[in-house]
């Protein structure tokens, strides 16, 4: 069997299972909205529900738009990546890993959307609960120094993007 298909059959299911298992543990052990400090001031386990996409994108949109939009985007991404995956050369090593990570991540987050109507996020990184206060053109702003909560599926997709960026900028050997 070809390397790319072996990678797909291993990586995507592992990401999916890890994602769903960790979310199951959070949903049944951490009350919605709670924070459990792991590294005080820097890292907490939380139980948040994200009805939007990355960074809460479209979270406030009407369900009649948001729900079909996310399902359509996920289906189109899987179809596009599936065709792209099939076209990968047999000697390609990084791209099968990256795309398999995306497949696993999409499957994990879409399973949440189908089961719950939202995605469970539980990893929260922040900087000592600090707020950056500044003024720009006479208007005051506050930025909470906290990364939006995320999950295993999000990490897999993010790692895939780093692999793709690395691959884009990797110089060919002469």
Mean pLDDT confidence for 110-137? 92
Condensed to tens digits (0 to 9), the pLDDT of residues 134-144 reads 888 999 998 88
Nearest-angstrom CA–CA distance, 19 and 156:
9
Tokens of 122: 């539980």
Mean pLDDT confidence for 163-169? 90
Neighbours of 31 (CB within 10 A): 9
Residue 46: is its pLDDT beyond 70?
yes
Nearest-angstrom CA–CA distance, 72 and 109:
14
Closest CA to 123 of 53, 39, 3, 14: 39
Known catalytic residues are 121, 154
Q: Is 94 helix (H, G, I), strand (E, B) or coil?
A: helix
- At 173, the pLDDT band (50, 70, 90 cuts) reads low
Residue whose structure tokens are 């596009």: 80
Tell me 91's DSSP state. T
- pLDDT value for 171: 60
Contact criterion met (CB below 8 Å) for 122 and 151? yes
Mean pLDDT confidence for 168-172? 73
Residue 174: is its pLDDT beyond 50?
no
Tokens of 98: 């990256």
Nearest-angstrom CA–CA distance, 144 and 2:
47
Q: Of 110-114, 122-126, 129-133, which gets the smallest average pLDDT? A: 129-133
Q: Which one is predicted more confidently, 145 or 107?
A: 107
Give φ, ψ of 118 to 5 degrees. -155, 170
């Amino acid at each position: 069997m070809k390397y790319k298909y072996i990678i797909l059959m291993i990586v995507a299911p592992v990401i999916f299972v890890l994602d769903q298992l960790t979310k199951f543990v959070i949903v049944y052990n951490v009350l919605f909205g709670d924070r459990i400090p792991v590294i005080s001031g820097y890292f907490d386990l939380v139980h948040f529900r994200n009805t939007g996409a990355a960074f809460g994108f479209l979270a406030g949109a009407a369900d009649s738009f948001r729900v079909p939009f996310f399902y359509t985007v996920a289906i189109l991404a899987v179809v596009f990546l599936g065709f792209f995956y099939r076209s990968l050369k047999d000697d390609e090593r990084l791209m099968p890993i990256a795309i398999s990570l995306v497949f696993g991540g999409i499957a994990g987050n879409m399973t949440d959307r189908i089961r719950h109507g939202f995605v469970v996020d539980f990893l929260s990184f922040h900087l000592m609960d600090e707020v950056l206060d500044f003024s720009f053109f006479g208007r005051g702003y506050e930025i909470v120094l906290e990364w939006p909560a995320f999950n295993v599926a999000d990490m897999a997709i993010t790692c895939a993007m780093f692999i793709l960026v690395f691959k884009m900028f990797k110089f060919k050997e002469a």
